[in-house]
Amino acid sequence: MSWKAGLSRHLPILRFFACAESPSSRGVLGWYTKNYEELNILNPNMPLFLRTTDNAMSAVTTELSFTTDDLLKFMIQTGRFRNGNGTIAEDRVEAAKAYLKTDWALIRKERWASPGFDPEHPLLDQTNPDWKSDSKLSTDLALYLDLKEGVDEQTRVIESGPSNEYTRSENSLLMCQRVDLWCAGEQEVEAAVKHLYKLGRRFNSLEVENPDFITEFYPGVADF
């Protein structure tokens, strides 16, 4: 039961899909029906949805907070940086590895190297389009501009692959949020939920919402 009690700490939602009339969805419907009350008690703030429609593909999905670093590691490990002839694109692999070594803490620090000025202000190009010509700003932000230019160039190389390589890899990684359960039994459904729970522990960082005040009171032992 321990992993069921921890679902809402690592997953924001669980969605089950099934066809109410199809034998292939019996495992999903059976597991959901038998476990809904317990899961709802243990995870009162986590939505548990069951969507049914004719000929639905049985599945369970959630939401995982993948980062750009996660995507690049996925692309490197699965060999998705490919040239048009099918060979590994070493330039994009090296750019991805360099991106993964980026010192984001230093970039955030150097962003404020010039007091009172934010080089990432969303309206900067309208309010001060020639700010890079300012000698003081250029001096104060020299390291920031150098680091930012390096990251921008790495991103340009990473996303330059043929046939929407980067976008297709994003979509492939997002499919890890879904487990298809066509003709699965109840044990397979529970294994799928456990799998998503473990992924949530790895990739999600949810803040538990604790109430500011006690809203429910339960009587204690009479002679306490």
Please compute the mean of the pLDDT values over residues 170-194 and round it to a whole number: 96
Could you tell me the pTM of the whole model?
Answer: 0.84
- Token duo for residue 10: 């690592």
Orientation of helix 90-100 relative to helix 142-158, angle to 10°: 140
Render pLDDT for 149-176 as a digit per residue (tens, 0 to 9): 999 999 999 999 999 999 999 999 999 9
Q: Quick one: pLDDT at residue 217?
A: 59
Mean pLDDT of the chain: 92
